[in-house]
Amino acid sequence: MLRLRELIQATLLSGIVTIATLNLNVPSVFAQQGYLRPNTNIRSGPSASGKVKKTTGTACEVVEILKSKRGENGELWYQIRLFNNSKVNGWVRGDLVGGGGEKADPRPEGDFGC
């Protein structure tokens, strides 16, 4: 199933096929994608006080952006899932996400040290 999702995403991202509706049991295919700055903490909730579930490495991690929410201080947080490991999901602050989402950092990957 994961290979099918990767194949569909690659096809959609390459612009070869435009699909208005695709009715497969792969709902995350259409989630918005982005990437995380290196050494980003993925937390259990949309707050700096949320438990750290994982800290990313020095390379940028590609993620699926599942939803967004304002945290306690009004900061934008994204619920994400790591693209290469769908078992890892959690929340990251909006300024640590690039390439997608509302107010996500639009800079190219090189500006994140990737």
Rounded CA-CA distance 14/94 in Å is 26
Which residue range(s) make up the domain with 47? 31-112
Domain count, the chain: 2
CA distance 20 to 77: 29
What's the pTM value of the predicted model, to 2 decimals?
0.64
35 and 3 inside one domain: no
Same domain, 41 and 22: no
- Helix (H, G, I), strand (E, B), or coil: what is residue 60? coil
For residue 17, pLDDT beyond 90:
no
**Quick check: 104 pLDDT over 60?**
no
Give yes or no for residue 54 having a pLDDT over 80: yes
Same domain, 13 and 50: no
CA dihedral 29, 31, 37, 42 (to 10 degrees): -100
Q: Which residue has the tokens 């995380």?
A: 36
Q: What is the pLDDT of residue 47?
A: 93
Check whether residue 53 and residue 13 sit in a common domain.
no
**Which residue bears the tokens 């999901």?**
89
**Is residue 112 a contact partner of residue 38, using CB atoms and an 8 Å limit?**
yes
Residues 47 and 91 both lie in one domain: yes
pLDDT single digits (tens) 83-93: 887 788 999 99
